[in-house]
């Protein structure tokens, strides 16, 4: 079958520009999947996943934890970055070396050399979990890009504009995809559709997203 010959191409990472400041690296993280999952398990032992509550009183459907100097948190008091885990009072775990290497390499390959994230938010989606359209604007410095790494089940991602009313483009993020957003795209609205049921060979019925930022 020729499909298999052509299918083999799909196993190699490839990159495409989504717009001026955004590069989608398909499958870039696949070769690091075991190392990344091992590091996530290690972080989880120190700072467990939890469902945070929005300032409006809603429980977020994605479970979250953080590593790095700053961790993104939300509660009735608002959205912010905190240097310690409100659940334990301890500082967040360090960003693992394999995370930093991947994030800075992806940023450099996308035209953002010297990216040194100080925050990594880890989102875990179960079937039905979603994230509604929003901007990431709790960071001090919008000149740094954001790097996102997707692991596990695929999901429909909404890539919006700079205003909420602009209709988002929809794309499917798959296991190992890395997207780098910066410059003119840094403040785009974005969201994640509800996770559909499925079984990923490594993660089971779940999706994990790592988001690297320069928060401080």
Residue 185 as a binder of ligand MD3 (CB under 6 A): the answer is: yes
Residue 146 as a binder of ligand MD3 (CB under 6 A): the answer is: yes
Let me know: does 55 contact 205? Beta carbons within 8 Å. Answer: no
Binding segment for ligand MD3 (CB under 6 A), chosen from 8-16, 34-42, 101-109, 182-190, is 182-190
Quote the CA–CA distance of 211 and 70 in Å, as a whole number.
Answer: 12
Let me know: does 160 contact 143? Beta carbons within 8 Å. Answer: no
Alpha helices in 47-147 (DSSP H): 97-109
Q: Exactly one of 136, 139, 177, 185 binds Fe ion (CB under 5 A); which one?
A: 136
Quote the CA–CA distance of 36 and 32 in Å, as a whole number.
Answer: 6
Quote the CA–CA distance of 125 and 158 in Å, as a whole number.
Answer: 16
Binding segment for ligand MD3 (CB under 6 A), chosen from 9-17, 29-37, 45-53, 178-186, is 178-186
Residues in contact with Fe ion, shown as a per-residue x/- string from 84 to 123 under the rule CB under 5 A: ----------------------------------------
Question: What is the smallest separation between the CB atom of 38 and Fe ion, expressed in angstroms?
Answer: 25
Q: Roughly what angle, to the nearest 10 degrees, separates helices 33-46 and 97-109?
A: 130
Interface ranges with ligand MD3 (CB under 6 A):
121, 123, 131, 136, 146, 148, 181, 185-186, 188, 190, 192, 209, 211
């Amino acid at each position: 079958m020729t499909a298999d010959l052509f299918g083999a191409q799909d196993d190699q990472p490839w990159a495409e520009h989504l717009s001026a400041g955004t590069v989608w690296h398909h499958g870039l993280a696949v070769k690091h999947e075991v190392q990344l999952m091992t590091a996530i398990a290690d972080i989880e032992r120190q700072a467990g996943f939890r469902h945070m509550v929005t300032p409006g009183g809603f429980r977020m459907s994605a479970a979250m934890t953080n590593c790095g100097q700053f961790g993104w948190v939300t509660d009735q008091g608002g959205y912010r970055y905190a240097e310690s885990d409100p659940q334990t009072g301890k500082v967040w775990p360090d960003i693992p070396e394999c995370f930093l290497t991947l994030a800075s390499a992806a940023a450099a390959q996308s035209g953002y050399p010297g990216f040194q994230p100080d925050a990594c938010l880890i989102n875990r989606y179960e079937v039905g979990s979603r994230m509604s359209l929003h901007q990431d604007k709790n960071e001090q410095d919008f000149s740094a890009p954001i790097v996102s790494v997707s692991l596990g089940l695929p999901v429909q991602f909404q890539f919006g504009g700079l205003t909420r009313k602009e209709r988002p483009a929809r794309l499917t993020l798959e296991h190992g995809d890395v997207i780098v957003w910066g410059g003119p795209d840094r403040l785009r609205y974005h969201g994640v559709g509800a996770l559909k049921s499925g079984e990923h060979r490594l993660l089971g019925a779940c999706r994990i997203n790592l988001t690297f930022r320069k928060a401080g």
